[in-house]
Amino acid sequence: MRRIKSSYPDWSSPEDCARFFSCIAEDNYLAHSIREIEKTILRKHGFHYHIFPYIQDRDVPFKAYFRQNTCEIRIQKSELSSIKAVRLRLAHEIGHLVYNIDLLPDSAKVDALNISRITREEELFAWRFAYRLIKEKSDQYHDKIYEKFKYTDQELKEAILALTTDKQEIYKELNRIL
């Protein structure tokens, strides 16, 4: 059953944003959350915005590339061995989009997102959003066929920490707050 959204989340809280976009329908796939974010951008800013996750044949960084009306999330082919890591990284990149949602109407600011250095605050927001979105999704799966998408708190925390070991400052902060 679809939940009707009458307001927006507290954009400063990654947890609130993740909860807002997590419960969309009974057959609640991650794709439903992506479509809900697109619809929210349309309602909030008045233009269509599309999020395109896709697999790169060549080895490029797992990263979101912001465009005027699209966000391309490039997934490394080599990372497909761990569905949990892919889901967390995808949710993390979507977290960057949610963090910057108010910049989307300004084309100059959108272009700057691709070349500017990501702040510590934004990086922490994106990982906290990823943790909460995937945790909320995990808790909603009750059918046996979704077992591979169900994770404990500890599994998600360990996976995120493993994905951030190369960023010591972020790793330490996430280790403390997750």
DSSP, collapsed to helix, strand or coil, labels residue 74 as strand
Residue 3 lies in a domain: no
User: Does residue 8 sit within a domain?
Assistant: no
Residue 2: DSSP 8-state? P
Tokens of 56: 């790169």
Q: Is 1 part of any domain? A: no
Helix (H) or strand (E) holding 108: helix 107-113
In this prediction, residue 2 carries a pLDDT of 44
CB-count exposure of residue 9 (10 Å: 0-12, 13-18, 19+): middle
Residue 7 lies in a domain: no
Whole-angstrom distance, CA of residue 176 vs CA of residue 178: 6
Q: DSSP assignment, residue 12?
A: T
- pTM (predicted TM-score): 0.89
Q: By the 8 A CB rule, do 84 and 151 touch?
A: yes
- Residue 121 domain flag: yes
Low-confidence ranges of the chain (pLDDT < 70): 1-6, 25-28, 60
Q: What is the pLDDT of residue 173?
A: 92
What element of type H or E holds 72? strand 70-76
Structural domain span for residue 43: 14-177
Does 137 fall in a domain?
A: yes
67-98 confidence digits (pLDDT tens): 989 999 988 777 777 889 999 999 999 999 99
The C-alpha R_g of the chain, in whole angstroms, comes to 16
Residue 173 lies in a domain: yes
Number of domains in the chain: 1
Q: Is residue 25 part of a domain?
A: yes
Element (H, E) at 84: helix 83-99
